[in-house]
């Protein structure tokens, strides 16, 4: 059967459950950071019909809902609210009382009929959410890796891409009232229809029930995806701090010159090359040979063409660790050094691709990436990686410019 234009389905018989993502895109700005962080702490575990967590949990079981959660995520110029729902496949469960119509009606009520008054949220609920958010912010600053990431991002962000973070706008938290938060929810969720993505062995009875229960409202709009690269700075920024942490940490941040969408596979591959047990480059040179670090890892921000190396280090070996990280990056321009490692990493990627076929979230990721144009599918990525040469890596690494070195010394270290 044909389904509504906002329903997207990946059919597979490989799993005994069905997962559904109801996605509401919202324009990315500081309002989302403030309002969004509160809403994800308020809009589950209670509704008008089920006004406390105990009766809510019972209702989940009664309606055969295995999981119901709300999260937020960033994608280009959009933020997404995602209601994630997991249901058992009725054909496998074979429970006479299990009715997709009743279950999906309950799901829609849980999204569109929150625990609230007619024109506002309850004061107590918003205060609980604010306190939870404050505790989260406090925990971020207590964690050395989180704090180091915040500071590094502040130093490299010369475009203001990260300025909408809740950490940069937390002083405005108290100004949010139960009325204006409810108004924001009405505008961005209540008055719109979501983009719906379904993975599982779904048949006509399920799709019919889904269509019948979706509201007939305007479809949430979103900005087409595009990467947002940073300009290249002529000089590396170097920053050092000392704070009361039990460890010390160093972060390198690179920006890619003329970064484009097509570059994200190479950027991620270089991160994998440094991290993978198949090549073990970072840990081999920073830990096994020199014992300079506790841990070391590489990571990327594919939206922005940013590459990080993070190492928790021994304080008295800071200078040697910095020198060794630079040497490692220089080795990524050495054909002899890369040749065998690249082949091993390609083999590992092929094995990982087979493993991912047994993970239902892989199917959902591919479905979302294809629709929103945010990344190639896992198979498409592997097909690209198969054709990447050592020369491609060397050429790409030459486009990676060291933008920031940030060192955070723990005063309680050792």
> 204-256, pLDDT tens digit by residue?
999 999 999 999 999 999 999 999 999 999 999 999 999 988 889 999 999 99
Q: Are 277 and 201 in contact (CB under 8 A)?
A: no
Which whole-number Å values give the CA distances from 38 to 44, 186, 339, in the listed order? Answer: 12, 14, 49
* pLDDT greater than 60 at residue 342: yes
Provide the pLDDT for residue 32: 75
Provide the pLDDT for residue 14: 93
Which of 147, 74, 144 lies closest to 302, judged by CA? 74
Judge if 162 and 41 occupy the same domain: yes
| 45: in domain | yes
Give 83's Cβ-side CA count (13 Å radius): 22
Lowest mean per-residue pLDDT among 235-239, 277-281, 366-370 = 277-281
Give the strand order in the sheet containing 306-313: 237-243, 400-410, 248-256, 306-313, 293-301
* pLDDT greater than 80 at residue 2: no
Q: Looking at 191, 219, 247, which one is the last position of a domain?
A: 219
Judge if 214 and 361 occupy the same domain: no
Judge if 268 and 368 occupy the same domain: yes
> 123-168, pLDDT tens digit by residue?
999 999 999 999 999 999 999 999 999 999 999 999 999 888 888 8
Number of domains in the chain: 2
Judge if 35 and 133 occupy the same domain: yes
Judge if 193 and 281 occupy the same domain: no
Provide the pLDDT for residue 39: 93
> For all residues of the chain together, what is the average pLDDT?
93
Judge if 62 and 151 occupy the same domain: yes
Return d(Cα 233, Cα 236) in angstroms, integer.
7
Q: Looking at 161, 186, 219, which one is the last position of a domain?
A: 219
* pLDDT greater than 80 at residue 335: yes
Judge if 215 and 312 occupy the same domain: no
Judge if 186 and 260 occupy the same domain: no
Judge if 73 and 24 occupy the same domain: yes
| Range(s) of the domain holding residue 54 | 7-219
Provide the pLDDT for residue 230: 97
Which whole-number Å values give the CA distances from 392 to 10, 256, 338, 363, in the listed order? Answer: 34, 14, 11, 29
Provide the pLDDT for residue 413: 57
Provide the pLDDT for residue 367: 97
Q: Are 48 and 113 in contact (CB under 8 A)?
A: yes
Judge if 296 and 197 occupy the same domain: no
Lowest mean per-residue pLDDT among 94-98, 276-280, 408-412 = 276-280
Which CATH number goes with the domain that contains 371? 3.30.830.10
* pLDDT greater than 90 at residue 30: no
Q: Where are the alpha helices (DSSP H) in 95-122?
A: 100-112
> 54-100, pLDDT tens digit by residue?
999 999 999 999 999 999 988 888 999 999 999 999 999 989 899 99
Judge if 156 and 62 occupy the same domain: yes
Average pLDDT over residues 338-366: 94
> 290-306, pLDDT tens digit by residue?
788 889 999 999 999 99
Q: Are 71 and 93 in contact (CB under 8 A)?
A: no
Neighbours of 161 (CB within 10 A): 19
Q: Are 44 and 68 in contact (CB under 8 A)?
A: yes
Provide the pLDDT for residue 201: 95
Return d(Cα 183, Cα 187) in angstroms, integer.
6
Q: Are 36 and 79 in contact (CB under 8 A)?
A: yes
Return d(Cα 324, Cα 303) in angstroms, integer.
28
Return d(Cα 129, Cα 42) in angstroms, integer.
6
| 224: in domain | no
- The three-state secondary structure class of 193 is strand
| 195: in domain | yes
pLDDT over 90, % of the chain: 82
Provide the pLDDT for residue 75: 86
Sequence-distant (6+) residues with CB within 8 A of 313 are 248, 249, 250, 292, 293, 294, 321
Average pLDDT over residues 394-400: 98
| 225: in domain | no
Q: Are 37 and 166 in contact (CB under 8 A)?
A: yes
Judge if 199 and 247 occupy the same domain: no
* pLDDT greater than 70 at residue 182: yes
Burial class (CB in 10 A: 0-12, 13-18, 19+), 181: buried
Q: Looking at 186, 219, 252, which one is the last position of a domain?
A: 219
Angle among Cα 102, 103, 106 to the nearest 5 degrees reads 85
Length of the chain: 414
Which of residues 164 and 110 earns the better pLDDT score? Answer: 110
Q: Parallel, antiparallel, or unpaired: how do β-strands 400-410 and 7-11 relate?
A: unpaired
* pLDDT greater than 60 at residue 263: yes
pLDDT band for position 414 (50/70/90)?
A: low
Angle, helices 390-397 vs 264-275, to 10°: value is 100
């Amino acid at each position: 059967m044909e389904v509504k234009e906002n329903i997207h389905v990946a059919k597979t018989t490989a799993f005994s459950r069905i997962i559904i993502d109801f996605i509401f895109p919202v324009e990315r700005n500081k309002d989302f950071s403030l309002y969004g962080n509160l809403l994800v702490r308020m809009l589950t575990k209670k509704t008008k019909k089920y006004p406390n967590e105990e009766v809510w949990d019972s209702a989940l079981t009664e309606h055969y809902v295995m999981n119901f959660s709300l999260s937020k995520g960033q994608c280009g110029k959009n933020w997404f609210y995602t209601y994630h729902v997991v249901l058992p496949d009725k054909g496998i469960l074979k429970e006479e009382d299990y009715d997709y119509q009743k279950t999906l009606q309950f799901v829609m009520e849980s999204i569109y009929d929150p625990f609230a008054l007619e024109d506002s949220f309850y004061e107590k609920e918003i205060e609980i959410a604010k306190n939870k958010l404050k505790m989260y912010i406090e925990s971020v600053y207590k964690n050395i890796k989180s704090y180091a990431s915040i500071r590094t991002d502040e130093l490299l962000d010369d475009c203001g891409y990260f300025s909408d973070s809740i950490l940069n706008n937390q002083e405005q938290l108290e100004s949010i009232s139960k009325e204006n938060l409810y108004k924001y929810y009405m505008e961005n969720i209540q008055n719109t229809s979501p983009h719906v993505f379904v993975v599982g062995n779904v048949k006509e009875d399920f799709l019919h029930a889904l269509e019948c229960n979706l509201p007939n409202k305007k479809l949430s709009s979103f900005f087409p995806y595009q990467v947002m690269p940073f300009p290249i700075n002529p000089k590396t920024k170097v920053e050092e701090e000392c704070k009361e942490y039990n460890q010390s940490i160093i972060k390198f941040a690179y920006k890619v010159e003329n970064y484009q969408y097509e570059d994200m596979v190479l950027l991620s591959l270089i991160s994998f090359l440094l991290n993978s047990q198949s090549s073990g480059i970072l840990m081999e040179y920073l830990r096994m040979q020199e014992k300079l670090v506790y841990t070391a890892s590489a990571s990327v921000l594919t939206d922005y063409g940013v590459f990080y190396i993070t190492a928790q280090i021994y304080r008295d070996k800071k200078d040697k660790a910095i020198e060794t990280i630079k040497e490692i990056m220089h080795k990524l321009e050495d054909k002899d050094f890369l040749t065998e490692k690249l082949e091993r990493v390609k083999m590992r990627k092929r094995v990982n691709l087979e493993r991912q076929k047994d993970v239902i979230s892989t199917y959902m990721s591919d479905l979302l990436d294809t629709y929103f144009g945010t990344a190639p599918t896992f198979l498409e990525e592997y097909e690209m990686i198969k054709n990447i040469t050592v020369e491609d890596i060397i050429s790409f690494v030459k486009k990676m410019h060291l933008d920031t070195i940030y060192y955070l010394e723990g005063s309680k270290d050792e």
